[in-house]
Amino acid sequence: MANVAVIGAQWGDEGKGKVVDWLASRADVVVRFQGGHNAGHTLVVGNQTYKLSLLPSGLVRGKLCVIGNGVVVDPDALLAEIERVRGQGLSVGPDVLRVAENAVLILPVHPALDKAREEARGDKKIGTTGRGIGPAYEDKVARRAIRVADLAEPETLSAKLDETLLHYNTLLRGLGVAEFGKEELLNKLLALAPKILPYAEPAWERLDELRRGGKRILFEGAQAVMLDVDHGTYPFVTSSNTVAATASAGSGVGPGAVGFVLGIAKAYTTRVGSGPFPTELHDEIGKHLGERGREFGVVTGRPRRCGWFDAALVRQAVKVGGVQGLALTKLDILDGLPELKICTGYRINGKHYKHLPAAPGAQAAAVPEYEVMEGWSGSSHGARSWADLPAQAVKYVRRIEELVEAPVTLLSTSPERDDTIMVRDPFAD
């Protein structure tokens, strides 16, 4: 049975929530495999809008959901989000939500250090979400992280907290920020334990069983390839690998289980936070895209920077992310623009580049090379078939396919779930 992994192919906020929700209706289980509550997925279902950060989008469809070991879990954020969606009428309990027992926990020390470091960076800040994602992943590779399973062992917790506090209080002191006391943190974790542990299990084992039972798995990526800690615009990236290969290590299944890789890209480009963005528009068109596309961060509320579609960037994401098909979203936002530009490469210090090089200086200096296309006057909003689209909009999509070297397998033309043109069912074998 085919599985599907969905990943962002730009800098995040490509409209993954809608696509994942749409695919979740065809899946049996939805798995998050990296990131944490820095993600923000908006799902519009009928007259309800769900804003999810940590919970897999499949919950909205009543599907079994798994938070994999590759996710960093803030227990307070998890419980708060569960309460919030319960308030919207969703039923969330251990019967539909499972959390990998080997997932790393985000503790209050993590956002404290995240924010203090950003503050200290001044105008060199990364623009993180301030949610402690980076420090939590640092703890994981430094082998000092407190994980979900540790909540069941008070002695382990106590010993690990000593190491955590030695590390964090030293840094926080140096940055002139309030330190944390052990008693308070330990009591907090002991109080959280009975609320979190009912969700905990060896998620890899459940996924293995489901797989052997022929169930369809949807792996839900967060952030996007250009925010990948290896392949993105480092250091202006998040702290996890966001490429599809992570679906395997981040949930405890072999690479063969990942299946079809669907990359999501907007028909233009946006980015939140700092860092290079060659096709960024500082003019009226950029403003227009931001307003019309309602480009505000779900998590931070920050306005997103907007620009033309960068085919060189998405092509790179297609290659390193293993993308086999593209879901192109928000095409309707381009309706009515007389002229459209697509970036096909860059000029950097007098030289042509087909992709964004790794050096930060070169990335910052990249000047886009554009191909100009005629826009369309008709409406693509709400189209559900190719025949509903203006001819020039179809040309735009076809040109994108050629340039990024991947077929468009899904086209989304409004926030509504059913306003989607499906070229190929990603779950088809």
Task: List residues binding ligand IMP (CB under 6 A).
Answer: 12-13, 38-40, 126-129, 131, 133-134, 222-223, 227, 236, 238-239, 272-273
Q: Is there a catalytic annotation at residue 150? A: no
Q: Of 238 and 409, which has the nearer Cβ to ligand IMP?
A: 238
* Residue 230 backbone phi and psi in degrees, to 5: -95, -45
Task: Give yes or no for a contact between 63 and 27, defined as CB atoms under 8 angstroms apart.
Answer: yes
Q: Of 274 and 324, which has the nearer Cβ to ligand IMP?
A: 274
Euclidean distance between CA atoms 91 and 89, whole angstroms: 7
Point out the catalytic residue in the list 37, 41, 110, 231.
41
Q: Which amino acid is at 178?
A: A
Point out the catalytic residue in the list 13, 21, 74, 114.
13
Number of Cβ within a 10 Å radius of residue 316: 20
CB of 131 to ligand IMP, least distance (A): 5
CB of 410 to ligand IMP, least distance (A): 20
CB of 236 to ligand IMP, least distance (A): 6
Euclidean distance between CA atoms 220 and 231, whole angstroms: 19
CB of 403 to ligand IMP, least distance (A): 23
Instruction: Give the largest CA-CA distance in the chain.
Output: 67
Q: Of 38 and 414, which has the nearer Cβ to ligand IMP?
A: 38
Q: Where are the alpha helices (DSSP H) in 175-307?
A: 182-196, 203-212, 246-249, 284-292
Q: Is there a catalytic annotation at residue 167? A: no
Tell me the Ramachandran region of residue 318: left when phi exceeds 0, alpha when psi lies from -120 to 50, beta otherwise: alpha
Euclidean distance between CA atoms 241 and 244, whole angstroms: 9
Interstrand relation of 217-220 and 29-32 (parallel, antiparallel or unpaired): parallel
Q: Of 1 and 80, which has the nearer Cβ to ligand IMP?
A: 80
CB of 129 to ligand IMP, least distance (A): 3
Euclidean distance between CA atoms 24 and 217, whole angstroms: 9
Q: Of 14 and 101, which has the nearer Cβ to ligand IMP?
A: 14
Q: Of 12 and 368, which has the nearer Cβ to ligand IMP?
A: 12
Q: Which two tokens stand for residue 409?
A: 């397998």
Cα–Cα nearest to 1, from 216, 167, 197: 216
Q: Which two tokens stand for residue 290?
A: 């931001």
Determine the residue with CB nearest ligand IMP.
273
CB of 132 to ligand IMP, least distance (A): 8
Report residue 350 CA to chain centroid gap: 34
> Catalytic residue numbers?
13, 41
